[in-house]
């Protein structure tokens, strides 16, 4: 991994920072000089992320439920107060459920949409009050947003919504100079995906979705997020960067 100083002095608000891709992104951005305001509902997970940074730079942990509007408003206000500004928003927070369509409930739908879509949209809305002309938003969707997977109807719908929301937001704010990008991971080894179960599914299915390059690592997704948020991607906006090891070629 090549570490640069692309984010020296950059103020970043990062959601979902308590584990997996979010934690790896926090570590990467701090290593490149960013000042990170890390948000997650899991206080212990956030503490682990702060420990993972190991005093390498500026990181502040903030516990919040991303689906709670008041909590989102308070989190963005707190980030600006702590960092003194806000240059980049990275939305990684999300949940995953696998449910056969016959067992899908309204509660499943509402919970997934509240966290994955509403949380992302609320942070974007509030962050845009503070982002400068060259500000950046990076939202995390999934390869499931554009490719079908059994038992993931609700989850895939939320990630498809994040993708569609982000592309339209990019067109809305391009005149302000704010870039909006989407990073869509494929199968990645995180605590979130480790808990996913496909009851009754033919094991041959896994051979179809796993890339010959193997399962992705959180650090590989984090490096793409860092690229998207950096000046190296200054001519990119309104695009989906699918990071899945070629599993859907």
Catalytic sites, residue numbers: 155
Instruction: Evaluate whether 38 touches 60 at the Cβ level (below 8 Å).
Output: yes
Instruction: Evaluate whether 83 touches 37 at the Cβ level (below 8 Å).
Output: yes
Cβ neighbours, 10 Å, residue 81: 9
Q: How many angstroms separate the CA atoms of 35 and 177, rounded?
A: 22
Q: Are strands 240-243 and 179-185 parallel, antiparallel or unpaired?
A: parallel
CA angle 163, 165, 168 (to 5 degrees): 105
DSSP state for residue 233 in the 8-state scheme: G
Query: Taking Cα atoms as reference points, which of 238, 141, 132, 226 lies closest to residue 180?
Result: 238
């Amino acid at each position: 991994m090549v570490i640069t100083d692309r984010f020296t002095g950059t103020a970043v608000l990062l959601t979902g920072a308590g584990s997996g891709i979010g934690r790896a992104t926090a570590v990467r951005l701090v290593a490149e000089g960013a000042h990170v305001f890390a948000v997650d509902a899991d206080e212990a997970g956030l503490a682990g992320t702060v420990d993972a940074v190991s005093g390498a730079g500026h990181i502040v942990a903030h516990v919040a439920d991303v689906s709670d509007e008041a909590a989102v408003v308070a989190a963005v206000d707190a980030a600006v107060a702590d960092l003194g500004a806000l240059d980049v928003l990275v939305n990684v927070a999300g949940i995953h459920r696998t449910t056969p369509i016959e067992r899908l409930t309204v509660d499943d739908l509402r919970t997934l949409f509240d966290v994955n879509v509403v949380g992302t949209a609320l942070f974007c809305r509030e962050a845009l009050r503070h982002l400068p002309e060259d500000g950046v938003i990076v939202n995390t969707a999934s390869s499931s947003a554009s490719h079908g997977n059994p038992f993931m109807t609700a989850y895939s719908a939320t990630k498809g919504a994040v993708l569609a929301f982000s592309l339209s937001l990019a067109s809305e704010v391009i005149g302000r100079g704010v870039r909006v990008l989407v990073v869509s991971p494929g199968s990645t080894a995180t605590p979130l995906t480790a808990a996913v179960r496909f009851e009754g599914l033919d094991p041959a299915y896994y051979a179809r979705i796993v890339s010959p390059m193997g399962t992705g690592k959180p650090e590989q997704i984090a490096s793409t997020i860092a690229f998207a948020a950096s000046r190296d991607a200054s001519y990119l906006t309104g695009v989906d960067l699918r990071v899945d090891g070629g599993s859907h070629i």
